[in-house]
Amino acid sequence: MMIVKRLRSLVSLIFIVTVVYFSVIALSGENSIHGEDLGEYAYNMWGAVIVNTVLFSLFAISFLRPRKKFEWRSMGVFLGFLVALFTEMYGIPLTIFLLTSLFGESYPVLNPFSHPSGHLLLVFLGLANSPFAFTVLHLITNGMIFFGIYLMYKGWKLIYKSGGNRLVTEGVYSYVRHPQYDGIFLVTIGFLIQWPALTTVVMWPILIFAYYKLAMREERELERRFGWQFLEYKRKVPAFIPKLSLFSLIDKHKESKRIGDEK
């Protein structure tokens, strides 16, 4: 168990350092990461596709720990989303090929295949050449991605600490019943806003449905194991969307701290 924990910590460290590195470079406008030094066609960066896909996949598998067949099915949808995302981002821009063929000369930017032009939200808002808009977009979306990663990590930490022998209701589990899946949703939404693509837009509802079904299946199992204790927890705590009133947040923080101190 200690070896597994250390391996997860190592994966987390490598993952976080890599994401921070790429985020800092993106915000600084470094040409190499945006592919501008490659000329007008800033793709075919298959090394970046592989590195990003592998890192995000290892992180997700490490902290969501799929074991059963139905858990791997949901994880497979998430991994497929990552492959599609990073292929469009660094490999082959299928969505941009489609859009440029549809819009022709009326496409909003002169160089659609430069990497910054892949931020389609900015392109169609007429902000593709705005450094301020570019920075704000990355601050918001990277914030969502990092917070999603944080939820996945905190959820795993509490489950690991419990040893699977009790119902976890403290910490992030005092706000929602499925914080780790909320983490996946935030990560994928962040990427969808930052780099929208036809393939990921199509896959995202499938991913949400797959994890919703998985969550409901896990709840049936928890109800069988913990009975009235889980039903009471389910009555008080929402599945995915937390109650965000100030007083409820204060009360939950106090209750979570009390439960954590007792355990």
Domain ranges of the chain: 2-258
Question: Angle formed by the axes of helices 94-103 and 198-226, to 10°?
Answer: 140
170-182: average pLDDT = 94
pLDDT tier for residue 262 given thresholds of 50, 70 and 90: low
- More reliable by pLDDT, 116 or 12: 116
- More reliable by pLDDT, 141 or 1: 141
Q: Containing H/E element for 165?
A: none
- More reliable by pLDDT, 13 or 75: 75
- More reliable by pLDDT, 162 or 77: 77
| Per-residue pLDDT reduced to its tens digit, 100-157 | 999 998 999 989 998 889 999 999 999 988 999 999 999 999 999 999 999 999 999 8
Reply yes or no on whether the pLDDT at 208 is more than 80: yes
Q: Which DSSP symbol is given to 116?
A: G
Model confidence, pTM: 0.82
Pairwise CA distance, residues 65 & 75, whole Å: 9
Pairwise CA distance, residues 103 & 197, whole Å: 16
Residue 56 · residue 82 · CB < 8 Å: yes
43-54: average pLDDT = 93
Residue 63 · residue 8 · CB < 8 Å: yes
Reply yes or no on whether the pLDDT at 228 is more than 90: yes
Q: Containing H/E element for 48?
A: helix 46-64
pLDDT tier for residue 83 given thresholds of 50, 70 and 90: very high
Pairwise CA distance, residues 1 & 69, whole Å: 23
Pairwise CA distance, residues 120 & 32, whole Å: 20
